[in-house]
Structure 1
Amino acid sequence: MDLRRAEAQEGGRPRPTRPGVESTSRARTLAEEGITARGYAANVRDHVALAAALDRAAQALGSVEALRYSTLPQKEFLRPVLETTPGDLVGAFEFSIQAPVAAVHQVLQGMRVLGRGTVLFINGGTAVPPLPEYVGTSIAFAGESAYGQMMHEALVGDGIHVGQLIIPGAITPGHPKKDPQVLADTLWAMHEERGDFRRFATTMDDE
């Protein structure tokens, strides 16, 4: 939500780019602050419903110009490598690979027509390097990272920036690098500067 405020302060119009139940509540809070925002609920593990939510948002507010994919992994994805079954990886795949691909696919044509756009993936520290204690996110985040890197390279000539922010450990209010407002400012800078694909919020040992 701090990112939405940063967008509004910079003169941008916040977009409903993170479908979910929480987004509808946050949209109401932002609306009370005079910021244009709407929430569209969808289960990200249902890629058809996710695409439909983004389509409704685009029809109501116009083409999505900035997409941020940052979902909190479920506990079932955080099992040690020796305890992980094939079935445990299905949800992680849906959550961190299938869903972001579906979301980007849904908004990409609109961005290409506009000739501009930003896609930002936010991942935890298990994206690089993998951790055997959290095998589901380690495998799924690696796939999400690979997809994002390839899209970054494929779209650079189209005026569309794809980036990734790695946040080691937990988001921590009051932390000099991982406070929610600091992270919002970092994401806004990534959107504005359109630099390299990957940025770290802090060092990997700061967990």
Structure 2
Amino acid sequence: MFNIPAITWTLTAVLLLSGSHHALQAARSHHLTDKVNNSLHTLMNVLMAAMLWNLAPATTLAQIAVLTAAALWFVIQAVARPEFKTLCAGGQSRLKCAYHGLTMAGAALMVAMMAHMTTPGQGIAPAGGTPMAHNHHAMAAAAPNTAAAPLGGSAGLAIPLTVFFGAAAVVFMILPLRSRATTTTPGHTATRKLTLRAEHGLEALGAAAMAAMFATMAT
């Protein structure tokens, strides 16, 4: 899929758009937890966009470590006791944090899978190299014996993750339609509802991008 430049650029734009939104939210937030959460989302989107172009391969282990720590942080929030009100509180917030934890874990797994798809000793790709599908297909053709085993295992993991993030994208696309059908309550202004729709739209785009990236790894 990513050997088509238009798709690569589209996914890059989606990831950077989502990252910019979270960066803006982090700057505007007055709560430390929200600042941290949005900053982690910004970092994840930037790392995913960089992976599309095989940038910074020397930092692969650091990327995996940071994304894994971010996943753990969101899981901790999802299971935190109710008295910790600065963390996730309420059923919907806990589900949201749990999903974000899975997203961070999926991003960490994607980085690890890309590292295993390369020929030993060559890294992911040179910095500033071609998009990942170009390198993926080139390496598979040049070194079938070394790449065959990792690719087989990666496909087994990528398929269910493609389904999961594809389903998440559909859910996030339905949520704005559901909120539009409900009546306005005193605590929900029109501006807040518009913000929620924008957030759901960005979540849907982000999930679709993750699904597309895992789908490529499954082929």
Q: What is the TM-score with the length of structure 1 in the denominator?
A: 0.30
Q: Which has the higher contact order (CA 8 A, sep 6+)?
A: 2
Quick check: which one's helix share is greater?
2
Structure whose alpha-carbon radius of gyration is higher = 2
Q: What is the TM-score with the length of structure 2 in the denominator?
A: 0.29
Quick check: which one's strand share is greater?
1
